[in-house]
Structure 1
Amino acid sequence: MAGLSASVAAAIAFSTLAAPGATAADNPYERGPAPTNSSIEALRGPYSVSSTSVSSLAVTGFGGGTIYYPTTTSDGTFGAVVITPGFTAYESSISWLGERLASQGFVVFTIDTNTTMDQPASRGDQMLAAADYLTQRSTARSRVDATRVALMGHSMGGGGTLEAAKDRPSIKAIIPMTPWNLDKTWSEIRTPALIFGAESDSVAPVASHSEPFYSSIPSTTEKAYLELNGASHFAPNTSNTTIAKYSISWLKRWVDNDTRYSQFLCPGPSTGLFSDVEEYRNTCAF
């Protein structure tokens, strides 16, 4: 640099040092520190969380619920996740996911349905109504990126996520948990889908529900199937590290476009007798 002025030389040196840092901020949706197995298996993530109750009397189209959100306002907005219970069940059956997912950097809405007997198509409509309320009218709306919404559901709620994704392809991700639906073919689905089946499910046996759902989603759609080893239909109703770990990874990857989480999804977990996972399939096209 002998022929350069001191100011030009300093500028070159600075740009050389700064370039790698510039690429680290290319994804505006990335939230939180780099993940590890321990961080996504933990009961709580890096964000402190608050919650607010939503009365059924204050909304239309669904049965109210609870919104969980990171307390910080310094990281901008967060992606949203609406979670719905199954047949005859209430919000309390899936509430464990609220704070757990929110602490990883999402605004999470666990909801009640209009009646506990509502079928999957109705539950799908109610999830979309809840998503619209969360992003447009709720007290937490300023914390949410309305363009990045995901849906989760258990049993008939899981079947409802498929219905909702078919009706609204802009949904960023769905996670049906031991899903139930009389419709077995979902060739319309374009939304990245992670389906949790349970090996010992006698209510929605994987052979007639989760597996055909997964197989019927086009191979051009990002999808994964994770079967819980020895688990029952009601595995999603209590705190479950495997469900949480891979749900967080799926939501981070497809709602936040955060490729740091791809490592947990592809090739995915070990399977077999001594694993919590009986079977795992994934398109792994990312």
Structure 2
Amino acid sequence: MRRSNTRIGKKVGIVAAAVAVAGTALLGPQAFAGQDPVTAAVQVGTLAKGPAPTEQSVRAERGPFAVKKQIVAPQSGRAFNKGTIYYPDDTSQGDFGAVAVIPGFLEPEFTTSWYGPTLASHGFVVITLEPIAITDFPDPRSSQLLAAVRWLATQSPVADRVDPDRLAVMGHSMGGGGTLIAASKNPDLKAAIPLAPWNLNPDFSDVTVPTLIVGADNDFIAPVAMHADPMAASLAGKPNQGYIKLKGANHFTTNGYTPTVTKFTVSWLKRYVDEDSRYTQFLCPNPQPDNTFVSFALTCPV
């Protein structure tokens, strides 16, 4: 149950255009060649945060919000380890959606910590995690993600800034596999973003959470042919499932700021966590490949 003192009200928006829904299944990049343009509605409801986005703003490492942070120390009996909270320093916007981010095998928190201030500056409360053990496989990482984002919304020092109904998860490598498992375990999540994901079983056909898989064409640790490609194929035919394959990228490309990764992760979270259709323009119609990504495939948002 959402706290009455932070409830933002009903989702009321101004619809400026009708949504044309792409009926194409997500079968891979080739399936989207020649796709008809999608005209998306621009709905600015009470969940929207920040000014109208531009191509420049979604690619920026820092968004419109000033950011504060708090260290989260280890605590006995808690289902996740230590981490860091990043949150917008703005109390005039109501509550925010929340995101938990976990790194991959043998990776400490700092390897994916850049997502904390970047996503927070774009209007989210974020916790970046140190895994309980850096050797944890995807399933325990999924449990840590879910425990952390739930704690962030209900018990953390900034819980009053978080909308507990708008939670998302992200992770790199085995953390990416854990992200997909978390989405399978909790269909109430608003978004999931696996980054260069690794998991022995790539079948996530039971996932209904809006999921953006980010793969890398030169990934030799989690080769896309064995991991990201079949993971995306297992989501085929479902709405709001995306797959971007980065060009000239390796397994660790997503562990540092790039304008392309920022553009699509921010747009995905804004579109599905904040239900802000102003960001649909960066996702639909499917962006054409450039010198930073090989392909983008998405059954466009409704």
Task: Report the TM-score when normalising by structure 1.
Answer: 0.89
Deviation at 1:197, TM superposition (A): 0.4
Who is 1:125 aligned against?
143
Using CA pairs below 8 Å that are at least 6 residues apart, which structure has the higher relative contact order? 2
Who is 1:80 aligned against?
98
What SS does the aligned partner of 2:229 have?
A: helix
Could you tell me which runs of 5 or more consecutive residues in structure 2 were left unpaired when the two chains were aligned. Answer: 1-11, 16-42
Q: Deviations over 1:203-248 (max 9, x none)?
A: 0000110010011014224111101101000111111211111000
- Once superposed, which parts of structure 1, at least 4 consecutive aligned residues long, lie more than 2 Å away? 21-26
- The 2-side partners of 1:238 and 1:101 are apart by 13
Aligned CA-pair RMSD: 1.6
Who is 1:17 aligned against?
none
1:110 aligns with 2:101: no
Who is 1:216 aligned against?
234
1:282 aligns with 2:298: yes
Who is 2:288 aligned against?
270
Letter in 2 for 1:223: Q
Within 5 A, what are the aligned runs for 1:168-247? 168-247=186-265
Does the CA-based 8 Å contact 1:191-1:221 persist in structure 2?
A: no
Task: Report the TM-score when normalising by structure 2.
Answer: 0.84
Does the CA-based 8 Å contact 1:189-1:218 persist in structure 2?
A: no
Does the CA-based 8 Å contact 1:49-1:103 persist in structure 2?
A: yes
- Which of the numbers 167, 171, 182 marks the counterpart of 1:164? 182
- Which of the numbers 23, 29, 33 marks the counterpart of 2:14? 23
Does the CA-based 8 Å contact 2:212-2:241 persist in structure 1?
A: yes
Q: Deviations over 1:10-36 (max 9, x none)?
A: xxxxxxxxxxx9838861101000000
What SS does the aligned partner of 2:209 have?
A: coil
Change (3 A) 1:76 1:59: farther
- The 2-side partners of 1:89 and 1:59 are apart by 23
Letter in 2 for 1:280: F
State percent identity of aligned pairs.
45
Does the CA-based 8 Å contact 1:101-1:108 persist in structure 2?
A: yes
Letter in 2 for 1:251: L
Does the CA-based 8 Å contact 1:55-1:64 persist in structure 2?
A: yes
Does the CA-based 8 Å contact 2:170-2:193 persist in structure 1?
A: yes
Who is 1:13 aligned against?
none
- The 2-side partners of 1:196 and 1:71 are apart by 29
- Please identify the structure whose Cα radius of gyration is greater: 1
Who is 1:12 aligned against?
none
Does the CA-based 8 Å contact 2:180-2:192 persist in structure 1?
A: yes
Does the CA-based 8 Å contact 1:246-1:264 persist in structure 2?
A: yes
- The 1-side partners of 2:259 and 2:198 are apart by 22
- Which of the numbers 117, 126, 145 marks the counterpart of 2:163? 145
Deviation at 1:63, TM superposition (A): 1.2
Deviation at 1:59, TM superposition (A): 6.2
What SS does the aligned partner of 1:56 have?
A: coil
Change (3 A) 1:111 1:59: farther
Does the CA-based 8 Å contact 1:158-1:176 persist in structure 2?
A: yes
What SS does the aligned partner of 1:57 have?
A: coil
My pick for the range that moved more, 39-48 or 249-258, is: 39-48
Change (3 A) 1:26 1:38: closer
My pick for the range that moved more, 53-62 or 36-45, is: 53-62
